[in-house]
Amino acid sequence: MFAVLKTGGKQYKVAGGDVLRIEKLAAEAGDTVEFDQVLMLGGDDLVVGSPRVEGAVVRAEVLEQTRGEKVISFKKRRRTHSSQRRRGHRQYLTVVRVTEILPNGAAKAAAAEAQTETKTEATAEAEA
């Protein structure tokens, strides 16, 4: 299964386990982030949003905060003296790994996780 998501003004085609370098997010390394602007889901059956797929969520784990390669902007105008400009820029980036693609949304997944935790707690109490 794959998804097309939108973040930082750009669109990315992702699958489970992919590592992306995206625009900086306000998250620390090890945090889990959710992208709810899913434009398309693919796999057995294709779902195209208009403009987004309702309820679909892509979860990812933040690996690190970093900066991109330096991009040099150099301007030089001919036939004039000392008319040149050199400027560099390094974009702040966040490196994330896609952990799962949830077509039905985060609410159902959270409910399923809570139900699993209560079952685990119940079995632990029964054993004690």
Q: What are the pLDDT digits (tens) for 5-64?
A: 999 999 999 999 999 999 999 999 999 999 999 999 998 889 898 899 999 999 999 999
Say how far apart CA 127 and CA 20 lie, in whole Å: 43
What would the two tokens of residue 90 be? Answer: 């390094």
pTM of the model: 0.73
Q: How many domains does the chain have?
A: 1
Domain of residue 31, residue span: 2-127
In 1-128, where do the E strands start and end? 2-7, 10-15, 19-23, 32-35, 38-42, 47-48, 57-67, 71-76, 84-89, 92-102
Q: What are the pLDDT digits (tens) for 51-108?
A: 999 999 999 999 999 999 999 999 988 876 778 899 999 999 999 999 999 988 765 5
**For the CA atoms of 6, 11, 13, 15, what is the dihedral angle to 10 degrees?**
-30
Identify the pLDDT of residue 125.
Answer: 72
